[in-house]
Amino acid sequence: MGSQNTDQNEAFSIGSETQLFVDDAIISSKRGVVRTLHPGKKLEQPVLLPDRPWEGGRVYIYGTVHYDAGTQQFRVWYLTRIGRGHQHRAPGLRERQGDMILYATSADGLNWEKPELGLHEFDGSRANNILLFDKHSPTVIVDEAADPSERYKMAAWDWSRDQFGYWVAHSADGLVWNEYDVNPILMNSTETLEAITVAHDSRAGEYFAFHRRWGDIGGFDRRLIAVCTSRNFLDWSEPELIIVSDEEDDAWTQDPEQRGEFYGMSGFVYGGQFLGFLPVFNVYRDMQGQEVGAEQSPWDGPIEAQLVHSRDGRSWERFADRSPIIPRGGRGSCPAARRLCPPDRPIAPGAEVCQYYTAINTMHGGPMPPKTATIARASWRLDGFVSLDAGHFGGIVETVPLKLPSGQLVVNADASQGSLAVELLSSSGETLPGYSQGECAPVCTDSVRHVVRWQDQDGLPVDQTLRLRFHLDTAQMYGFRVETAENE
pLDDT digits (tens, 9 = 90+) for 394-422: 999 999 999 999 999 999 999 999 999 99
Give residue 4's pLDDT.
45
Within a domain: 1: no
CATH number where 29 lies:
2.60.120
Checking if the pLDDT of 3 tops 90, the result is: no
Same domain, 216 and 328: yes
Considering the domain boundaries, does residue 4 fall inside one?
no
CA distance 145 to 347: 19
Same domain, 265 and 368: yes
Task: Tell which of 352, 381, 410 closes a domain.
Answer: 381
In a domain, 233, yes or no: yes
| Rg for the chain, CA atoms, rounded | 24
Residue 299 lies in a domain: yes
| Residue 348 shares a structural domain with residue 394 | no
Host domain of residue 242: 41-381
Position 104 scores a pLDDT of: 98
- The DSSP string of 79-112 is EEE--TT-GGGSTT--STT-EEEEEEEESSSSSE
Residue 352, domain member (yes or no): yes
Query: Is the domain of 349 the same as that of 334?
Result: yes
Q: Are strands 386-390 and 33-37 parallel, antiparallel or unpaired?
A: antiparallel
Distance from chain centroid for Cα 233: 20
305-360 pLDDT, tens digit per residue, is: 999 999 999 999 999 999 999 987 655 444 454 555 567 888 888 889 999 999 88
pLDDT at 486 over 70: no
Provide the number of structural domains found in the chain. 2
Examine the fold and report which residue of 350, 381, 412 is the final residue of a domain before the chain moves on.
381
Output the domain CATH number for residue 96. Answer: 2.115.10.20
Decide if pLDDT at 86 tops 70. Answer: yes
**Domain-located, residue 488:** no
136 and 18 in one domain?
no
**Is residue 251 scored above 60 in pLDDT?**
yes
User: Are 454 and 434 in contact, with CB atoms under 8 Å apart?
Assistant: yes
Kindly state whether residues 241 and 259 are assigned to the same domain.
yes
Domain co-membership, 144 together with 241 = yes
The residue among 355, 381, 407 that closes a domain is 381
Same domain for 376 and 391? Answer: no
- pTM strictly above 0.85: yes
- Say how far apart CA 271 and CA 239 lie, in whole Å: 25
Same domain, 351 and 391: no
Residue 7 within any structural domain of the chain: no
Q: Is 288 exposed, middle or buried (0-12, 13-18, 19+ CB in 10 A)?
A: exposed
Residue 80 predicted with pLDDT over 70:
yes
Q: Is residue 306 part of a domain?
A: yes
Q: Which pLDDT does position 284 carry in this prediction?
A: 81
